[in-house]
Amino acid sequence: MTPNQIGFALLYIGVFLLVGKIIRVKSTLLQNLFLPSSIIGGFIALLLGPQVLGKFFSDDNSLANGVMTENITEVWSSLPGMMINIVFACLFLGATIPKLKDIWNYAGPQLAFGWAIGWGQYVVGLLLVLLILTPFFDLPPMAGALIEVAFEGGHGTAAGMASTFEELGFSEAFDLAIGLATVGVLSGVIFGIILINWGVRNKKTKVIEDVDDFSNLRKRGVMEYQNREPAGKMTLRPESIEPLSFHLAIVMLAILIGWGILQGLIALEAITINSDFMEYIPLFPVAMLGGILLQIVFDKKDKYNLVDRRMINRIQGLALDVLILTAIATVSLDVIGEYLVPFLILAAAGIAWNLFGFLVLAPRFIPNYWFERGIGDFGQSMGVTATGLLLMRVVDPDNESPAFEAFGYKQLFYEPFLGGGFVTALSVPFIAQFGPWPSLILAAAMTAVGILSGLFYFGKGKGSSI
């Protein structure tokens, strides 16, 4: 494949992102669902690609691959696994690390709630493996991790785990995880809006009284003119270095540091215990560690505050848009069709557990503003962090509750472990090596920690003054 062919494949991404945005602006249904343009564009690319449109033509026809070419599909299939490293390297760059007391006061109840939901997804998945998926459908025990990988982790984590699944002999898990992540985002938004309507009607919310207060511009995804803010600060003079180039270089350095750490761990493991467990760990959680280490250095040495969080957010957002669009566009419909019943079972069980967590556990864990705060964790547990932020913005548009601060502080402890962190990355190799029963016992114990601390500590008003 030539550089020109790779470049042409990248140009196609811009086309489908714009198509997705145009459809979002024109479709009232999609506006009310607040679907991101990257998801819409990904579905359009999937429909116009070799797996749908191409099926209507013979192999020698110019449209056998739809409007795509084989080169485009090949390049796109590699992009999600690359983009997730950027997303995770950006998580803590430019962010101020708050005091432990503030984190505890704000995030304690939500950390207990998120911890119970995240580990509970492993419990549900592993129980399904032991009782249904392995005995009746011959799926490997690793399928027990798919709910957490796809729902909590989202498209990015699912893409990042592709090499791990392939090396462990379950390559089909990538397509199943991408499909589940798509179901998670869609159902997260749909059920989230339904829950918000229910919460308003039944006086569960404290901030808003009507969910119809959004302007047409907001539903279309256009920022109101009076609310427009700079995408980032010019922390450096462009004649020395373009600020965007500087921030992108910082992200690249974070990924390289993560790669170096991972290679060192692999070498250390091989020397000390002669094992290859670390070889199955994807790069993205270690890239996050590289970002944390860089931010610690900047906190201590950067007296000019050169790293701007808004600029980092734009880089992260671009990578996430590319990731979601290309992941959906290249998902294998044949694999999902082959495993359709297990796929539907996993999706239904994951949705049911998350709904149970929000409706039953959240009001008992979070003493104040439970709906505004819990809906963010529900959205994250169904798809990605952006889904949680979207739902919180619906119920608290002017940031009147402590929901956003509590959610952000919770991420500092949560993201390094679940939802794409080290637990998520280690879960599949752990299940493959030790089996489903030890994994289930561990997951059940961790879920119990979250539930018990939520019910008998944070739910009683202890440990949090918020």
DSSP 282: -
For the cut 90, the answer to whether the pLDDT of residue 77 exceeds it is: no
**What is the DSSP code string of 25-78?**
HH-HHHHHHT--HHHHHHHHHHHHSTTTGGGGS-TTSTTTTTTS-HHHHHHHHH
pLDDT value for 98: 65
Task: Kindly report the average pLDDT of the chain as a whole number.
Answer: 85
Q: Which of 4-13, 201-210, 290-299 has the lowest mean pLDDT?
A: 201-210
**Inter-residue long-range contacts of 26-33, CB under 8 Å, 24+ positions, other chains counted:** 31/219, 31/220, 31/221, 32/193, 32/219, 33/186, 33/189, 33/190, 33/193
User: What are the pLDDT digits (tens) for 284-299?
Assistant: 788 888 998 999 999 9
How much is the pLDDT for 95? Answer: 77
Backbone angles phi, psi at 141, to 5 degrees: -55, -25
Q: How far apart are CA 407 and CA 399, in angstroms?
A: 12
224 has pLDDT over 70: no
CA-based nearest residue to 306, from 240, 208, 228: 240
Give tens-digit pLDDT for 147-183. 999 998 877 788 788 888 888 888 888 888 888 988 8
Confidence at residue 419, expressed as pLDDT on a 0 to 100 scale: 76
Percent of the chain with pLDDT over 90: 34
Nearest to 157 by CA among 93, 252, 88: 88
Q: What is the arithmetic mean of pLDDT over 82-101?
A: 80
Query: What pLDDT, on the 0 to 100 scale, is given for residue 10?
Result: 93
d(CA 176, CA 18): 27
Question: pLDDT, tens digit, for every residue of 118-143?
Answer: 999 999 999 999 999 999 999 999 99
For 405-430, the pLDDT digits (tens) are 777 677 767 877 887 778 888 899 99
Unique residue bearing structure tokens 């250390």: 268
C-alpha 20/C-alpha 339 separation (Å) is 28
CB 432 within 8 A of CB 167: no
The Cα 213–Cα 26 span in angstroms is 20
Q: Give me 284's structure tokens.
A: 């993205």
Q: Over range 102-114, report the average pLDDT.
A: 81
311: tokens are 């600029």
pLDDT at 463: 58
Q: Contact, 405 vs 106, CB < 8 A? A: yes
Amino acid 209: pLDDT: 65
**Residue, of 132 and 51, whose pLDDT is higher:** 132
Predicted confidence band at 220 (pLDDT cuts at 50, 70, 90)? low
Q: Which residues of 25-58 are buried (b: 16+ CB within 10 A; e: fewer)?
A: eeeeebbebbbbbbbbbbbbbbebbbbebbeeee
What distance in Å separates the CA atoms of residue 25 and residue 364, rounded to the nearest whole number?
A: 39
For residues 2-10, give the mean pLDDT. Answer: 90
* Chain Cα centroid distance, residue 173: 17
Residues with Cβ within 8 Å of residue 269, at least 6 apart in sequence: 275, 276, 277, 278
User: What does the DSSP assignment read for 347-407?
Assistant: HHHHHHHHHHIIIIIHHHH-SSSHHHHHHHHHHHHHS-HHHHHHHHHHH-TT--SSHHHHH
Does residue 97 surpass a pLDDT of 70? no
pLDDT digits (tens, 9 = 90+) for 427-446: 999 999 899 999 999 999 99
pLDDT score at 11: 94
Q: Which amino acid is at 267?
A: A
What is the tens place of the pLDDT at every residue in 337-354? 888 999 999 999 999 999
pLDDT band at 273 (very low <50, low <70, confident <90, very high): confident
Of 324 and 346, the structure prediction assigns the larger pLDDT to 346
Average pLDDT over residues 3-13: 92
From CA 118, how far away is CA 446, in angstroms rounded? Answer: 9
